[in-house]
Amino acid sequence: SGCNYPLRGGKGTVWEGGIRTSALFYSSNIKRPGSVIDDMVHVTDWFPTLASIAKVDISTLGNINGVNILSTLLENKNTKRTYIFHNFDTYEGEISALRVHEYKLIIGGKLGPNSGWNKERSVTKNQTD
């Protein structure tokens, strides 16, 4: 079913339940072992991060979409990422979302009831409709 309860939405949606996932990272250099990172991280961030660990100068590789999140992983600092773009091609058509900080613009697809912005619950990481 692709359920990611208690997060809203599921597989193939741009709600948190469809795009948020867990990851595991280990290093003896982690300042706060067992910590949880609630900052914006995207799969494209792994390449520049692993390249940094391997001492590769990514500036020689051209335009890279990801950002180095090593300081986020080791010291739980905020990432430099300010937005994430999501796009899904579904049986019902294309649906896209642009998340900028705590705001998310959704275009296309069927959004369903209660899909408007709720000022009282503007932090998307806690959205559990």
Q: Cite the beta strand spans of 4-107 per DSSP E.
A: 83-90, 93-100, 103-107
Cα–Cα dist 109/89, whole Å: 10
What pLDDT is recorded for position 128? Answer: 45
Specify the pTM. 0.72
Evaluate the omega torsion of the peptide bond into residue 48 and state whether it is cis, within 30 degrees of 0: no
The CA dihedral of 113, 119, 125, 129, to the nearest 10 degrees, is -30
pLDDT in single tens digits along all 129 residues of the chain: 577 788 888 877 888 888 888 888 888 888 888 888 888 899 999 999 999 999 998 888 888 889 999 999 988 888 888 899 988 887 777 889 999 988 888 888 765 554 555 545 544 454 444
